[in-house]
Structure 1
Amino acid sequence: MPGLSWPLLSLLLLWLLPLAASATHIVGGELDLQHKSGNTYSLTLNLYFDAIYGNSGAVRPTLLAGIFEKGTNKYIATVQMPKVSDSFVQYTSPACSIGSLSTRKLIYANNVIIDASVFNKPDGYYVAVENCCRNASIANIIAPGDAGQTYYLEFPAVVRNGQPFIDSTPQIFPPLSDYACRGELFYYDFGGQDPDGDSLAYDMVTPLNGHATPGNPDPGQAVAAPYSLVTWKAGLSTQNQIPGSPTLQVNARTGRLTVRASDLGLFVFGVRCSEYRNHVKIGETRRDFQLLVVNCPANQQPKLQVNVPGTAVPYRFGRDTLRLLPGGNRCLSIRYTDPDPGSVLTMTTRAVNFTGQLPTFTTRTSGTVHAAGQPDTLTATLCFPECTDTKGKVFLLDLIVADNGCSLPKHDTLRVAFTATQLPNVAPQLSSTFPPAPVPVSNANPAVVRIVIGQPYSATLLGTDSDNHALTLTAVGEGFDLAGAGMRFTAQNGAGRATATFVWAPDCGAVAASGTGEGLLVHFKLTETGPCLPLLQERVVRFIVDPVPEPKPFSPSNVITPNGDGYNDFFRMPDLPLDFCDRKFASIVIYSRWGQKVFKSDERGFQWGGQNSGGLYYYLVTYTDGRRFKGWVEVIP
């Protein structure tokens, strides 16, 4: 239902009016300490203020936070926190807003230095801010108008076992601006998130009173603990803060609040969020807040129904398990309605025990029932994707219909159990004229192709698929660009068949790119499109560039007879290793037996006719890549 009726709202305003004069301003609040960098932290107080009856003059531009040792209550420091933000807290359903309830969120913040030389006590520390006063109309504590409020958090030392210990306090989810309806289940998520990934636990606590009073509403510097507690009225306690069945409670794991309040009024309550690391409690933060309980128009629960596909039988969880088969009906027909006139209903889904793509609605998921020109029952179609595959497990899906009732929507949830399979997919096949790879085939054990520089190499690839899926052949260099290395890959892709040609005529640039004999790795991939789980085939080939083969082994002559007869008159080396890219002939130097240089040339076609005297001489041949050849030659006149 979209809101409270005007007569009911008028009665509510009249009920609160006598209390307005004595009401003050505080709705609740919590402290937050977040690590920024180094030893700098941001300390924040979120203060929630009654925007309807609160005294705007009570809003202070700056609040003071005190920091104390937890074990000894020793004062450590004071932090001045100026007001940096002022905004309204939003209703869960804005259409349900009422004129007597509006909350502002005031943020006070400043940076604080938490140095390991000071904050190193094993028991940790706490921060407190004191303020006054609470709304005088609070119904569950004694003398609420005289009750102060203490905002409180605990944090650990920033060094533990000699090592830095960084921690940010858990941040409780946004506060509520909603009201509860008497006799109706109220729920709200007070669960938080922890930036450090610490475990969080929640429990109900009695709100802290502290030392602030109406006569001294702004005590300035907070004093050390212990802090007095608010006093519950008779029959109420920490575990029974708001009368009801159930009374107000918080889920210890999720932080979700629930209550079905039995009494009208404004009720204060406290929730604590404790954080644990390695099963040891390291800190906590408290939220002190209020909940208004009013009479609301009756709002009945919406209803939804799903039929077993292909039948008129309603689906029942625990009795039926949907079995979704390839090519079969994978859609559910949903009918949903609400007894209340003019209800706006919305359908959603939620995965319970699986992740991945959810089924999708193919028809409208919201609409109005029992209104002029509108049907009494709405319908929706929910279809599971063809690629949904539970792999033999039973997946659970919640179908949820919610109305627009106030203060919070009512729901009907139907849990659906289902299994799903998809069409089998036969892997495509990839063949090529590359040499076979060693077994086992892997990136670290690829096929090897040795290519002589300057001589073109080509290979063909063929991909086929018995399922006739679209195939694509690609080639990717590992750490290099194929075109940049002079490689050419051309593919003709299609359904069920793909062919490709690889051509390469390596040059010296390719030799430089291939490094020190490791070669160039190329990944040839065959991929398919269309199936739910595309399968990939891959061939990895290592290309190694070799020099042009030597015409014959290098074995220079070691005797010359420079006597002018035209035979063996000169020392030559026609069989020197050939030049290969950056590996080129540099020079030859010939020395006498006494180490005197007698000849030098940088021409690989040199010739030396001796020194007009016989004997042994020694030569040194060098190449540009550092290779050296040494030997001797005898001159016989």
Structure 2
Amino acid sequence: MLGLLLALLLGLSLRVQATHIVGGEMELVHQQGSTYTLVLNLYFDAVNGNVAALDAQMTAGIFEKATNRRLQDVTLPLTSNTFVSYTNPACAAGSLSTRKLVYSKDLTLDAATYASAGGYYASVERCCRNLSISNIVNPGAAAQAFYLEFPAVARGGQPFVDSTPRIFPPLGDYACLGELFYYDFGGQDADGDSLAYDMVTPLNGHATASLPDPAQALPAPYSTVTWAAGLSAQNQLPGAPTMTIDARTGRLTVRPTRLGLFVFGVRCAEYRRGVKIGETRRDFQLLVVACPTNQAPTVQLFTAGQTRAYQPSRDTLRLRIDQDPCLRVRFTDPDPGSQLRVRLRPVNFTAPVPTWGGATSGTVRAAGAPDTLQATLCFDPCQTPPGNVYLLDIIVADNGCALPKQDTVRLTFTPEPGRNTPPVLTSSFPPAGGTTPALVRVPVGSSYTATLLGTDADQNPLVLSATGQGFDLSAAGMQFDAQSGAGRATGTFRWQATCTGASSGQELTVLFQLRESAVCNGQPVTLPVRFQLVPAADTVAFVPPNIITPNGDGLNDEFTLPTLPPDFCDVRFAGVTIFNRWGREVYRSPERSFRWGGAGLAGTYYYLITYTNGRKFKGWLEVLPAAGATTN
């Protein structure tokens, strides 16, 4: 296919006898303060153009619109020289090659000078055009005036900052006779201004073949090129339809009906708050050649279990979480050897888009009975709000020249919430007290186990989980094992209660959660449970004695406290001190197993027992006198 195309291109009589300029446009870019950059993008015929005519610099003039008064001339040096890429590199033709030459220079636009309400314009003039252009009169003598308009840099005493639109991706492609040609000339505006596009007659200006590169651009008005008979600004290139541009998107389309080289002009105007503030123009040319026949590919969609292809005019895909959310996408091409690629283009929404399964590209090899390629397109109904109607284009394109042919199916889909009964969570934990979570007290050193059960009447997949609120389960000696399943999930909670995982009196809250994993925006069922570490369950009540009789009979001879509250985690026995009734210390011991025999004096004594956490026990003790004993 490519060899035949090259032969046709090389055989086409489009010998350029004059100059080299294919087209161009200007830009004005705000940098900071009063500093701007003036740019001329010039497109140069790299095949037929005379390299000696490649200018090292260009001269721009800046004028006031209301009076055409010259404000300054700007010398623009050549700052960049690159080749323009083809949309489809496989279609590159040796007889068509374009360079993009960028001329640019920083300049100052101060508010005192550039304050006219009518705005300003900049222009660069150069001659001449290719002799072989088919749609204008005397193209070899026709010049070019590159032109832009911009507003005052201050309004009402305040800065008015504006950068002209950065538009018009370079066009390196040719068009095929009788085939629809399309190209995106849409641009972007750094200031967020609105852009509008239309077709305009290219400007001729004042340059001539005898003076192709004037030292200065002259002020407006600029003459325009003269169209060949039957052509005009609204019919610049013979076609059915003729060349047009979408006023909003900047998409250029034409179906050429004549071979040749054709010049055309496009204008982009920018508006701020509904008021036009500037414009820039592109002057360019398009080569139309005879291309080998290329038939368009086709794409079809099939929903789960259906053999009839999706029909955009009558079908709407309704997505439910409880149904198969995937489509089969089949794409093919009548031409053998075609390389196809399928892609998605959201129309009235942004990401997330469905995900592909399988290959989205491939080669159709069989002649007469083309191969059919297939991929899977799967939606996530939970990612888009239910009830809205979404439009998605599924586009398949081939690798035909000059531009790929394509087929599009517009899919209309709407997510629908499925009917859902909330799941139920039960457990062996003690019941909660109203809105207060259940409290489970576990003696230190013991093991506690509880079971949980989740059920769902809709048989949706269930997932049970447990999370420590502000602590790690495993670090606290806790463990949770769960088994998930359709309509049923079980879990077992275990706690080996030690002082390592908790301190005395501390409450640890665990949040148990039951979730339906295949329900959009389903509300999980939660069960908070509080756990508290307490002393061992066999500890007897602390009842200290208050009388001893140190008479040597082996009965109640000494003061001891075997029923003291036991050491518990960080709460430990610190000591005992005994005082006489005058407040003098008569005994002290740090040992829990202390034994005091009365110090040989009968009477009333007082004791103080302390723990490491500051807890205290106070009391009195009567020592009865033995025979011959004295009293304190």
Fold match (TM-score > 0.5): yes
Distance 2:275 2:526 in 1: 50
Aligned to 1:183: 178
The residue that corresponds to 1:163 in the other structure is: 158
**1 CA distance for matches of 2:514 and 2:158?**
50
Any idea what SS the aligned residue of 1:293 has?
strand
Q: Which amino acid aligns with 2:133?
A: I
Offset, 1:381: 2.0
Task: Give the Cα–Cα distance (whole angstroms) in 1 for the partners of residues 481 and 352 of structure 2.
Answer: 29
Residue 229 of structure 1: aligned partner: 224
Q: 2:333 aligns with which of 331, 335, 338?
A: 338
| In 2: Cα distance, 1:125 partner to 1:281 partner | 13
Residue 100 of structure 2 corresponds to 105
1:555-602 CA-to-partner distances (Å, cap 9, x unmatched) read: xxxxxxxxxxxxxxxxxxxxxxxxxxxxxxxxxxxxxxxxxxxxxxxx
Task: Give the structure 1 partner of residue 298 of structure 2.
Answer: 303
Rg larger in structure: 2
Deviation at 1:525, TM superposition (A): 12
Identify if the C-alpha distance between structure 1 residues 537 and 376 changes in structure 2 by more than 3 Å, giving closer, same or farther: closer
CA contact (8 A) 1:428 1:528 kept: no
Structure 1 residue 529, shift from structure 2 partner:
9.6
Residue 463 of structure 2 is aligned to residue 469 of structure 1? yes
- Partner of 1:172: helix, strand, or coil? coil
Give 1:237 deviation, angstroms: 0.6
* SS of residue paired to 1:8: helix
1:34 and 2:29 correspond: yes
Equivalent of residue 376 in structure 1, options 371, 376, 393: 371
1:362 alignment partner, one of 346, 351, 357: 357
Q: CA 1:425 to 1:147, structure 2 compared with 1: closer, same or farther past 3 Å?
A: farther
Aligned to 1:48: 43
Unaligned runs of 5+ in 2: 437-451, 457-461, 483-488, 505-510, 528-632
Give the Cα–Cα distance (whole angstroms) in 2 for the partners of residues 236 and 266 of structure 1: 14
Q: How does 1:125-524 map to 2 (within 5 A)?
A: 125-371=120-366, 376-385=371-380, 387-421=382-416, 468-469=462-463, 471=465, 473=467
Q: Which whole-Å CA distance do the structure 1 matches of 2:523 and 2:403 have between them? A: 48
Measure the CA separation in 1 of the matches of 2:242 and 2:49: 28
- 1:31 to 1:426, Cα distance in 2 relative to 1, 3 A: farther
Cα offset for 1:376?
A: 2.3
Q: Distance in 1 between matches of 2:407 and 2:245?
A: 22
In 2, Cα distance between equivalents of 1:465 and 1:173: 61
Structure 2 counterpart SS, 1:288: strand
CA contact (8 A) 1:130 1:220 kept: no
1:244, 1:353 → 2: CA distance? 32
**1:422: how far off?**
5.6
Tell me if structure 1 keeps the 8 A contact 2:196–2:247.
Answer: yes
Conservation of the 8 A alpha-carbon contact between 1:66 and 1:79 = yes
Matched, 1:80 2:78: no
**How far has the Cα of 1:241 moved from its partner?**
0.5
How many Å apart are 1:340 and its aligned residue?
A: 1.4
Mapped contact 1:30–1:152 kept (Cα < 8 A): yes
Paired position in structure 1 for 2:446: none
Letter of the 2:374 partner, please give it. Answer: T
Shift of 1:221: 1.5
Cα deviation for residue 528 of structure 1 reads 7.0
Change over 3 Å in CA distance of 1:123–1:379 after alignment to 2: same
Q: 1:123 to 1:367 in 2, by over 3 A?
A: same
Note the C-alpha offset of 1:361: 2.1
Deviations 1:254-294 (A, max 9, x none): 00000011111000101000000000000001111110011
Alpha-carbon offset, residue 537 of structure 1: 10
| Structure 1: gaps spanning 5 or more residues | 438-462, 477-481, 506-523, 540-637
Aligned-partner residue type, residue 84 of structure 1: T
In 2, distance between residues paired with 1:436 and 1:528? 21
Amino acid at match of 2:106: N
Q: CA deviation at 1:89?
A: 0.3
Contact 1:200 1:276 (C-alpha < 8 Å) held by counterparts = yes
8 Å Cα contact 2:36-2:108 kept in structure 1: yes
Q: Structure 1 pair 227/427, CA: closer, same or farther in 2 (3 Å)? A: farther
**Aligned match of 2:86:** 91
Q: Are residues 213 and 335 of structure 1, via their aligned partners in 2, closer, same or farther at CA, if it must alter by over 3 Å?
A: same
Which residue identity is paired with 1:209?
A: N
Q: TM-score, structure 2 length as denominator?
A: 0.70
Letter in 1 for 2:253: T
Alpha carbons of structure 1 residues 418 and 65: separation in structure 2 relative to 1, 3 Å: same
In 2, Cα distance between equivalents of 1:37 and 1:464: 66
The Cα RMSD (Å) is 3.7
Kindly state the Cα deviation for residue 411 of structure 1 after the two structures are TM-superposed.
0.9
Distance 1:263 1:314 in 2: 38
3-state secondary structure, aligned to 1:193: coil
The code of the aligned residue for 2:11 comes to L
Output the CA distance in 1 between the equivalents of 2:56 and 2:37.
18
Q: Is contact 2:22–2:44 with CA below 8 Å preserved after alignment?
A: yes
The one-letter amino acid of 1:83's match is L
TM-superposition CA deviations, 1:463-495 (whole Å, max 9, x none)? 99877435464768xxxxx99xxxx99997776
Q: How many residues align?
A: 488
After superposition, the Cα gap between the structure-2 partners of 1:493 and 1:92, relative to the gap in structure 1 and judged at 3 Å, is farther
The answer to whether the 8 A contact 1:34-1:169 is kept is yes
- Taking the aligned partners of 2:306 and 2:245, their CA distance within structure 1 comes to 42
**Partners of 2:123 and 2:148 within 8 A in 1:** yes
CA distance in 2, matches of 1:527, 1:38: 60
Spell out, residue by residue over 1:605-637, the C-alpha distance to the aligned partner (whole angstroms, 9 max, x if none): xxxxxxxxxxxxxxxxxxxxxxxxxxxxxxxxx
Q: Deviations over 1:31-89 (max 9, x none)?
A: 11111111111111110000000011111111111111011111111111110100000
Which residue of structure 1 aligns with residue 9 of structure 2? 9
Match of 1:122 in 2: 117
Q: 1:324, 1:86 → 2: CA distance? A: 52
Partner residue, 1:570: none
